[in-house]
């Protein structure tokens, strides 16, 4: 459940308006908000009557008032007359474009003058459309829906591009060796925005796999994953794996960004003496392939597991629920990875014991 607290107006101020403006509403709104700028009050009211059942309408009689409204609260689209006393629509658009926050705001001009030169100037400003008065209700509503839909597609594409860039940035480059173990990363999930963080220490190293089950948009989820990776990279390595997982869980629970999120964690401490200390929280698993039974074991609770694999024995780490899968010890690391990834486990690290240093 999400809620929003709307701060009161400070210093007893009221909306800067021309007398017919819609009062501010809650931050969470069900209708797109359209700002209508026209010095003619009859036009403002006509447009309000055309649109108010589908849109939240804010009407302004001058450019100065409109700029004040845009500073106070966000809008989804501006519908602006060109000919107005004082600052006309063309100057208003230039002022708006100079503001970084409103540079890409959907914008529609309207005019009652059929002047091809003027219309050419208006279009050259990069507006979304130009409507001739008298306005027709159906045409006006259709145009606004079309412009909003086009901008929504553009925003989604930009967000997806950002998420892809973030995911590529987060993609880890693991060292070939941590402690007395060779390390191989075979896949990392993009959809769930998994993270893999490592640190080298004189006594060995740390390897952390993490997954956020985020309901946020893809770009926001990528930012959350980057934030989680940053927290994990700062983790102090004093103590065993179970203690470190408990410490990280406590930090995440109270964190202002990730608090309340479902997060899977699998932490491995590799020692130069051949010891491997594992602990996890959430849907995590490991398998001992070689001298062990080759089955995926769960690490849902934070109690740890300490292993001393023999040279050549491999430990598979993945963000997955344990099951009855058993792996043939004769399989190569690549074959093991393909078998696990075929089962839908998208993030997979294989540690191969090299023997104590």
**For 23-70, what is each residue's pLDDT tens digit?**
444 445 689 999 999 999 999 999 999 999 999 999 999 999 999 999
Question: Over 90: is that where the pLDDT of 330 sits?
Answer: no
Tell me how far apart the alpha carbons of residues 354 and 356 are, in angstroms, rounded to a whole number. 7
Stretch 84-113: mean pLDDT, rounded? 87
Extended strands (E) in 112-217: 129-132, 177-178, 181-187, 195-201, 204-212
Please tell me the predicted confidence (pLDDT) of residue 46: 96
Q: In this structure, which topology does domain 12-161 adopt according to CATH?
A: Rossmann fold (3.40.50)
Extended strands (E) in 105-156: 107-111, 129-132
User: Residue ranges of the domains in the chain?
Assistant: 12-161, 171-353
Question: Over 60: is that where the pLDDT of 172 sits?
Answer: yes
Q: Strand pairing partners for 210?
A: 195, 265
Please tell me the predicted confidence (pLDDT) of residue 215: 75
Q: Please give the span between the terminal C-alpha atoms of the chain, in angstroms, as a whole number.
A: 52
Closest C-alpha among 223, 156, 234 to residue 199? 234
Tell me how far apart the alpha carbons of residues 144 and 153 are, in angstroms, rounded to a whole number. 14
In CATH, 171-353 is 3.30.70.1170: no
The answer to whether the bond into 109 is cis (omega within 30° of 0) is: no
Percent of the chain residues topping a pLDDT of 70: 75
> Under DSSP, is residue 223 helix (H, G, I), strand (E, B) or coil?
helix
According to DSSP, residue 253 is labeled H
Question: Over 70: is that where the pLDDT of 171 sits?
Answer: no
Closest C-alpha among 283, 314, 277, 276 to residue 297? 283
Closest C-alpha among 218, 217, 268, 226 to residue 244? 268
The mean predicted confidence, pLDDT, of the chain is: 79
Q: Flag whether the pTM goes above 0.85.
A: no
Stretch 123-129: mean pLDDT, rounded? 79
């Amino acid at each position: 459940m999400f809620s929003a607290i709307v701060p009161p107006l400070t210093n007893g101020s009221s909306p800067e308006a021309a007398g017919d403006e819609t009062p501010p509403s809650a931050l969470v709104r069900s209708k797109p908000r359209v700002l209508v700028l026209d010095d003619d009050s009859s036009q403002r009211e006509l447009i309000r009557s055309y649109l108010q059942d589908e849109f939240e309408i804010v009407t302004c009689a001058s450019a100065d008032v409109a700029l004040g409204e845009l500073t106070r609260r966000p809008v989804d689209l501006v519908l602006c007359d060109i000919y107005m006393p004082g600052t006309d629509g063309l100057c208003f658009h230039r002022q708006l474009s100079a503001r970084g926050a409103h540079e890409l705001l959907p914008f529609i001009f309207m005019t009652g003058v059929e002047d091809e030169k003027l219309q050419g100037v208006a279009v050259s400003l990069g507006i979304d459309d130009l409507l001739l008065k008298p306005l027709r209700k159906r045409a006006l509503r259709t145009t606004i829906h079309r412009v909003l839909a086009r901008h929504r597609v553009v925003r989604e594409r930009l967000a997806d591009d950002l998420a892809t860039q973030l995911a590529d940035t987060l993609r880890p480059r693991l060292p070939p060796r941590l402690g007395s173990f060779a390390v191989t990363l075979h896949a990392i999930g993009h959809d769930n925005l998994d993270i893999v963080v490592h640190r080298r220490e004189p006594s060995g190293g740390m390897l952390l796999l993490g997954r956020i089950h985020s309901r946020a948009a893809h770009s926001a989820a990528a930012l959350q994953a980057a934030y989680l990776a940053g927290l994990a990279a700062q983790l102090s390595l004093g103590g065993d794996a179970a203690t470190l997982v408990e410490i990280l869980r406590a930090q995440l629970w109270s964190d202002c960004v990730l608090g309340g999120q479902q997060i899977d964690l699998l932490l491995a401490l590799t020692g130069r003496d051949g010891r491997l200390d594992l602990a996890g929280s959430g849907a995590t698993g490991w398998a001992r392939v070689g001298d062990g039974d080759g089955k995926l074991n769960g690490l849902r609770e934070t109690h740890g597991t300490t292993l001393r694999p023999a040279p050549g024995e491999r430990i598979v780490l993945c963000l997955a629920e344990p099951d009855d899968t058993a792996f043939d010890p004769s399989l190569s690391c690549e074959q093991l990875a393909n078998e696990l990834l075929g089962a839908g486990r998208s993030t997979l690290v294989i540690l191969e014991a090299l023997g104590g240093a």
